[in-house]
A and B are shown apart, each in its own frame.
Chain A
Amino acid sequence: MRPEDLLCPTPRGLYCPPADAYIDPMRPAERALITHGHADHARPGNGAVMATPETLAIMEARYGEDFCGTRQPSPYGAKTRVGEVSVSFHPAGHVLGAAQIRLEWKGFRAVVSGDYKRAHDPTAADFEVVPCDLFVTEATFGLPVFRHPPAEDEIAKLLHSVELFPERAHLVGAYSLGKAQRLMKLLRAAGWDRPIHLHGAMVRVTEAYARLGVDLGETVQVTAADRAKLAGAIVLCPPSALRELWARKFPDPVAVAASGWLRVRARARQGGVELPLVVSDHADWDELRRTILDTGAEEIWVTHGEEDALVHWCGTAGLKARPLRLVGYGDEGDETPAEEAAAP
């Protein structure tokens, strides 16, 4: 058999014929396997959805109760038969509930990574190496220039700035699902015990995290009247809000952002960021290479990101590799679903 018999790239996303299911479909599908809750991977309107219980809860919090026809929770490690295929979900370390999806069919094992990272994240289960024959990996940061520093060091930068400029409000632009909660948890670990203020778009997901047992300490939603009073506060908001009228009402705001992209200075400057924190929920260059080797896979498919460099490197390491050039993933810049962004 060929790997393409088990998985084939289509405009709608990766399709698995023997299971008759799409993985993270771009457009609604009859049957969908969802790796994690980010909007570019988890879209509403599918028929049957299988995902981890956490991902299903996050999708419900973001899209409402009727986000799909039927849902089937699949806890980490449990094997379920879908069509002719044995399907299981394994921790990807990306955000709460994020999974790699393992597919076994006729003795051939494929793992679709979704988005993942190897660094420890107190809000997500640690990445698990799943041996396979075909590894389908992301490559968001697939260039040797992307090597993420320890997240704790970046949090220390933020706290240093808050100490040096106590009369200003620090507005931290971060994705509302995952990054925001990871930052909160890291801030708590670094000793920040004051309330953390949240833009309205962050509230629903943060509440979902709390319901799923992630303790983030006291969080307060920012109201219009409060903004001028938040000198010395740390406020989390979607990245786009830093550039909106909303951000202007705070006392002399410092524009902070947390993203792996900020490793490259020009990108941080283009975004008008004054304090960049290099905190990423994706594997960096070293982690991508290590993971590919760890899986023992002989064939590597690269889904989205900077695939050219990673495919080239696989060649130098004696591995068969191809870019899938799937469009539609990785555009996390404004991954906040519309109805959340519209919230106050």
Chain B
Amino acid sequence: MNRFAFLLDRLAYEPRRNAKIRLMAEYFRETPDPERGFALAALTGALSFRHAKPGLIRGLIMERTDPVLFGLSYDYVGDLAETVALMWPGETRANRSPLLSEIVEGLTSTAKLDLPKRLAQWLDALDETGRWALLKLITGSLRIGASARLAKTAVAALGEDVKPDDVELVWPGLAPPYEDLFAWVEGRGERPFAEDPAPFRPPMLAHPLEDANFRAFEPKDFVAEWKWDGIRVQASAGRDAEGRHVARLWSRSGEDVSGAFPDLVEALTFDGAIDGELLILREGRVQTFNVLQQRLNRKSVTPKLLAEFPAHIRAYDLLVEGDEDLRERPFEERRKRLEAFIAREDNRRVDLSAIVPFDDWDGLTAARLDPASAGAGDDAAAVEGLMVKRRDSPYVVGRPKGLWFKWKHDPMTVDAVLMYAQRGHGRRSSFYSDYTFGVWTTDPEEGERLAPVGKAYFGFTDEELTELDRFVRKNTTNRFGPVREVVHTAEQGLVLEIAFEGIARSTRHKSGVAMRFPRVARIRWDKPTAEADRLESLEALIAEKEGA
């Protein structure tokens, strides 16, 4: 447990992705089975313990400490698990600290009534970091900034020629402590057989089109289809060894999101795997991402929610049909199979994403600029751009070069004034790299003032960041903790051209608007702040979208 606690402690502070992978890989390399397997389960969120609740932990510490001292300490630290880990009394340590495997086994087998005593014994035997890790583990709040994907990437790094996606492929058939997985990755055993009848298959991704000189490509080698503004998902279904039908909905990154969409999962009655876009459809019309987000933000899935926000899949691709894996086949062939499949299934929750016909690149450019006239019709507001795919492209895991391209709409832009800046994290920890920007509005009392409308923390180059950082440091007018207020008057200040993907009304933002994906497109050193945009023009953009 101590070695695992040390790993968690390091991960919690380490901001860099690659460094996290190295810390985990090093741990997996030097830790024996089954300890490392239970650690992997903890890191991937595969463990949960029913009886361990914060109230239990609070009860244990109250029996052991002065309530005034506990109150002062909790107030200072601000986190129950950490306060308890830090002030747990006693210097005497057991001869040996418990293994992670013993703890996992103990938590599963111990009856609820005996749990406090058992937990206290473990806490007595561990050091501070060990106690902190144990308490975080059992309360299910590790929050160390390492995703399941990152942990699997670290496992793959143990092998000579194993890719993270290979681990992903065999993952659904595995269970803690994953001894067969480690044996295979380290070249000591067979590749584990994935027995999940509805597994996740890592998706194929596209390159942005501006990166490629597409005019040099032959238009007839490519097919175009709409890129819908929803959530990319994979609907996977099949029969298990006992003949039961199993269906799952996977996110692009391999999280099982079935629980959030029972209405949709219930409708996945086929055998196979579809790559598509999750969308909300009302009376056959695709709703905007803003509507979809209202469903995503809810904690519990109520019948009312299901009725108001019915989830659908618009299918792009067919990866598996029955037992047949189609991923090696050319796109054109998969597309024909998909069309036949959708027609045969006649599923009211699953439909086909239309092909956008075009003869040459100018024709496709016109379709991108006006989706409504090019076939998207009433659904045009939910079109995010185009996907352009080679007719002969197999379905390849990852982001292969030269096969698929995404050609998004040009983003909307606004000229806004830099108002506040905050230091970034990790690589940027000493730079002011988070910028709050605002646009002009007329206040009935104050007259002309800037209303903050968003925050941008990317879009600039390293050189631009250095210049922005220098500007912030030289033009600070006030400090609030980590935040610096930067000069922003009608005469003085800096204009940033902000690009964004969408805009909607918001009750959570004081200005009443919320942007999607804002980033710094250009630094307008040349532009006087008085000429920056006004809140009214953003409101007009929303009105235009709502009218569309």
Contacts and interface: CB of A to CB of B under 8 A. Distances in A.
A258 B341 CA distance: 63
A286 B87 CA distance: 11
A145 B73 contact: yes
A277 B22 CA distance: 20
Interface string B426-450: 0001100000000000000000000
A39 interface: no
A263 B14 contact: no
A179 B328 CA distance: 62
A241 to B, nearest CB: 10
A276 B19 contact: no
Interface residues of B, number: 33
B77 A268 contact: no
A312 B430 contact: no
Given A165-B22, A243-B430, A245-B430, A266 B425 contact: no
A147 B128 contact: yes
A144 B12 contact: no
B86 A164 contact: no
Interface in B111-133: 127-128, 132
Interface string A230-255: 00000000000011110110000001
A313 B23 CA distance: 41
Interface string A183-211: 00000000000000000000000000000
Contacts of B12: 265
A149 B127 contact: yes
B22 A309 contact: no
Given A264-B86, A272-B425, A143 B13 contact: no
Nearest to B22: A164
A274 interface: yes
B87 A144 contact: yes
A81 B222 CA distance: 98
Contacts, number: 79
A265 B81 CA distance: 11
A266 B72 contact: no
B69 interface: yes
- Counting chain B CB atoms within 10 Å of each CB, which of A145, A248, A264 scores highest? A145
B362 interface: no
B284 interface: no
Contacts of B23: 164
A244 B430 contact: yes
Given A147-B128, A247-B430, A274-B13, A164 B26 contact: yes
Contact of B13 (A145, A242, A269): A269
Contacts of A243: 423, 429-430
B79 interface: yes
Contacts of A272: 423, 425, 429-430
Contacts of A145: 73, 76-77, 83, 86-87
B66 A274 contact: no
B68 interface: yes
Interface in B88-146: 91, 127-128, 132
B88 to A, nearest CB: 9
A185 to B, nearest CB: 24
A51 interface: no
B69 A144 contact: yes
Nearest 8 pairs between A and B by C-beta?
A: A145-B86, A144-B87, A272-B429, A145-B73, A309-B72, A145-B87, A274-B13, A243-B430
Given A164-B23, A165-B19, 16 more contacts: A144-B73, A145-B73, A145-B87, A149-B127, A164-B26, A242-B430, A265-B82, A266-B77, A272-B425, A272-B429, A272-B430, A273-B13, A309-B68, A312-B72, A313-B69, A316-B66
7 contacts: A165-B22, A244-B430, A264-B82, A265-B82, A272-B429, A286-B91, A309-B73
